[in-house]
A and B are shown apart, each in its own frame.
Chain A
């Protein structure tokens, strides 16, 4: 069995803080927060008004009308990020490469706006039929399917739905496929477009969304802020990437997973610890080699304290030497895209020697007593980092990245 090192040769992002990688990175470096009053949905009946939206998104800048008709917003985001990642990687497609390339995407809620529109037709407007494209637009694998058609990729392609860990599981599985030589190239990441009234009402009912903003690890944190967007990465065997003269933006070096097996929404620090340890073991790394963790850091009372305890359990005294930040404070919690957006942020941080901050941080919390890089990005040469994702349902995924 092959055991390739796996290079990241392309990254694409569309998010509330940037429509492409350079804009995204500039925002992270500046600690710029993308949380604003929502514009794409009517929030009049909601208890919260703010989100991290891809503001004034217009599909016509990216897709012909007929093509856009067939895609929910979340699938459009997947293709937009995929295009940027593939262009950046400078891939020259051949029939052989197309057959030996794969796609793994993450999505938590799939085509919510298409689903919501259909239900409004039925239950509110009293109509007896919904649009025939509702199913192909709603299905969570639509992102992967449209990416495969966009690039003519015909190898193993699928979608993982593990709530907030979806994209991390997706990148991890793609990483393993490339590492083991099952594919010569993988396009992996996640996409999400969660701003529809029906699902926002469901989030409201859980009482975990902040009416204000996202303040991870801050004592006065009041919950998460939902976000949307996508990030995709091109993964290739490092030797192959070097041989073709590709720019290597970093490496994925390990992937770990675990299940809490305890509660459907309450996180467990033991489960989070096991996923981090599994990623370190998979990478063959000692905890002391990690210099930065892009935290799951949702800004809920439950997550941030639990995650701090998990990091302390895994890293011991080294927990006080490594830096931790939650970039959700800027791009929001993009659910099934979150892990990909954060893995992109982590890779960019390592490459640029600058660790993105935890924005909106105002009050230290003894329960979150880590170095969380408050509000201002920090120059630091870091070799190895983790990117954490811990999902509702207790399904955890952690990636280890190398500069």
Chain B
């Protein structure tokens, strides 16, 4: 389960990109409710890549339809990156 701090950072990126108040964003929010179209979605992914220094693959990006999937996807990539970083640190 993603931690609250990570969730809030994802919300912040969505709010900044969509130019909407962060209070409007909930973990159960659907893209349609937030007026996020396909181009907006791509914009948000760009913001998330910068915020978390991750690379979101095209295939994974296509599956994302709501805020929860976005938070979980970022959480997974951040964990993988942390694991990779520590592995390379050990080596």
Please give me the residue from chain A that is nearest to B45 by CB atom: A132
Contact present for A132 and B46 (CB under 8 Å): yes
B42 at the interface (CB under 8 A from A): yes
Is B69 in the interface zone, CB < 8 Å from A? Answer: no
A131 CA to B45 CA, complexed, in Å: 10
Q: Is A133's beta carbon under 8 Å from chain B?
A: yes
Does residue A65 face the partner (Cβ distance < 8 Å to B)?
A: yes
Quick check: is A66 within 8 A (CB to CB) of the other chain?
yes
Name B46's contact: one of A64, A70, A129 (CB within 8 Å): A129
**A131 near B18: Cβ-Cβ < 8 Å:** no
Q: Is the CB of B19 within 8 A of A132?
A: no
Q: Are A65's CB and B19's CB within 8 A? A: yes
Query: Is A69 in contact with chain B by the CB < 8 A criterion?
Result: yes
Residues of B within 8 A of A129 (CB): 46, 49-50
Main SS class of interface, B: helix
**Chain A residue at smallest Cβ distance from B50:** A129
What is the CB-to-nearest-CB distance from B74 to chain A, in angstroms, rounded to a whole number? 16
Shortest CB-to-CB span from B64 to chain A, Å, is: 14
Give chain B residues whose Cβ lies under 8 Å from the Cβ of A66. 18-19
Task: For chain B, residues 1 to 42, give those with C-beta under 8 angstroms from any C-beta of chain A.
Answer: 18-19, 39, 42
Q: Provide the residues of chain A in CB contact with B49, threshold 8 Å.
A: 129
Evaluate contact between B43 and A133: CB separation under 8 angstroms.
Answer: yes
A interface, by DSSP: helix, strand, loop or mixed? loop
Q: By the criterion CB–CB under 8 Å, are B19 and A131 in contact?
A: no
Contacts of A64 in B (CB 8 A): 19
A69 engages B46 (CB within 8 Å): no
A interface footprint on B29-73 (CB within 8 Å = 1, 0 otherwise): 000000000010011011001100000000000000000000000
Categorize the interface residue count of chain A. Answer: 10 to 19
- A residues 61-76 in Cβ contact with B at 8 Å: 64-66, 69-70
Chain B nearest Cβ from A134, distance in angstroms? 10
Distance between Cα atoms of A132 and B43 in the complex (Å): 6
Residues on B with C-beta less than 8 A from A136 are: 39
A132 touches B39 (CB 8 A): yes
Within the complex, the shortest CB–CB distance from B27 to chain A, in Å, comes to: 23
A131 vs B43: C-alpha distance when bound (angstroms): 7
- Per-residue CB contact flags for chain A residues 37-75 toward chain B (1 = under 8 Å, else 0) read 000000000000000000000000000111001100000
Q: How far is the CA of A63 from the CA of B71 in the complex (A)?
A: 31
Smallest Cβ-Cβ distance to A128: which chain B residue: B55
Nearest CB in chain B: distance from A126 CB, A: 13
Distance in Å from the Cβ of B56 to the closest Cβ of chain A? Answer: 10
Rounded to whole angstroms, the CA-CA distance of A136 and B39 in the bound complex is: 10
A133 to B38, CA, bound (A): 12
Q: In the docked arrangement, what's the CA distance between A64 and B19, Å?
A: 9
A129 to B51, CA, bound (A): 13
- Cα separation A140 to B49 with both chains bound (whole Å): 28
Q: Which residues of A contact B19 (CB under 8 A)?
A: 64-66, 69
A73 to B20, CA, bound (A): 22
Q: Which residues of A contact B18 (CB under 8 A)?
A: 66
Give the distance in Å from the alpha carbon of A133 to the alpha carbon of B44 in the complex: 11
B43: chain A residues within 8 A (beta carbon): 69, 131-133
Assembly CA distance A131 to B44 (angstroms): 10
- Residues on A with C-beta less than 8 A from B45 are 132
B29 → chain A closest CB, angstroms: 17
CB distance from B47 to the nearest CB of A (A): 9
Bound together, the chains give a CA A70 to CA B42 distance in angstroms of 13
Provide the bound-state CA to CA distance between A349 and B49, in Å: 54
Q: Which residues of B contact A69 (CB under 8 A)?
A: 19, 43
A64's nearest neighbour on chain B, judged by CB, is B19
Q: Which chain B residue shows the least CB distance to A131? A: B46
* Bound complex: CA A65 to CA B18 (Å): 9
Complex CA gap A65/B19 in Å reads 7
With a cutoff of 8 Å between Cβ atoms, the chain A residues found around residue B46 in the complex are: 129, 131-132
**Counting chain B CB atoms within 10 Å of each CB, which of A66, A132, A133 scores highest?**
A132
* Given A70-B39, A129-B46, A133-B43, 8 additional A-B pairs, CB 8 A: A64-B19, A65-B19, A66-B19, A69-B19, A132-B42, A132-B43, A132-B46, A133-B39
**B residues touching A (Cβ–Cβ < 8 Å)?**
18-19, 39, 42-43, 45-46, 49-50
Using a CB–CB cutoff of 8 Å, the interface residues on chain A facing chain B are 64-66, 69-70, 129, 131-133, 136
The 4 closest A-B pairs by CB, nearest first: A66-B19, A132-B42, A65-B19, A132-B46
20 contacts between A and B (CB under 8 A): A64-B19, A65-B19, A66-B18, A66-B19, A69-B19, A69-B43, A70-B39, A129-B46, A129-B49, A129-B50, A131-B43, A131-B46, A132-B39, A132-B42, A132-B43, A132-B45, A132-B46, A133-B39, A133-B43, A136-B39
